[in-house]
Amino acid sequence: MTTAMQSLSATSSYSVGFGFPPNFTTPQTRLHRRPVVVIAKADEPSDKSVEIMRKFSEQYARKSDTFFCVDKGVTSVVIKGLADHRDTLGAPLCPCRQVHYDDKAAEASQGFWNCPCVPMRERKECHCMLFLTPDNDFAGDEQAISLEEIKELTANM
């Protein structure tokens, strides 16, 4: 992680944002200073899409030898953002590039940023921190997350 603050916002119906403390720079501090997840939403994604994206995320983490964030609230928010796009666009357009989309429907049909996006498939680069390589300071040791965890970790957002 090269920046202290990474902003991931915003969709028309589901906004995702992450933040890190300004001096968050070393692995030694990560257990004490966790990513802060901020979310604002107008509509909840359907349970069906959340479950589909949850299963996809587990399977793809295993397939790509990557791990979920040590703070699974991050994982939960991204999965719900993907599920929201699946509901509204018919494809799991990346939820952490919202400010870069001029036309989300066109982006979804083009496919470059549909999850797993091309940077992830080619270089294991996940800007949303959904899939983290083991050497990433924020990587946990899990490749599984339950629907209950997702609901619990996003209940007050």
Which residues bind to ligand SF4, rule: CB under 6 A? 78, 94, 96, 113, 115-117, 120, 126-128, 130-131
**Cβ-based nearer residue to ligand SF4, 50 or 126:** 126
> Which of 56, 147 has the CB closer to ligand SF4?
56
Tell me whether residue 30 or residue 74 sits nearer to ligand SF4 (CB atom). Answer: 74
> Closest distance between ligand SF4 and the C-beta of residue 105, in Å?
16
CB of 61 to ligand SF4, least distance (A): 10
Active site residue 126: no
Q: Which residues contact 76 (CB under 8 A, 6 or more apart)?
A: 145, 149, 150, 153, 154
Catalytic entry in 96, 115, 117, 126: 96
CB of 147 to ligand SF4, least distance (A): 18
What is the set of active-site residues? 96
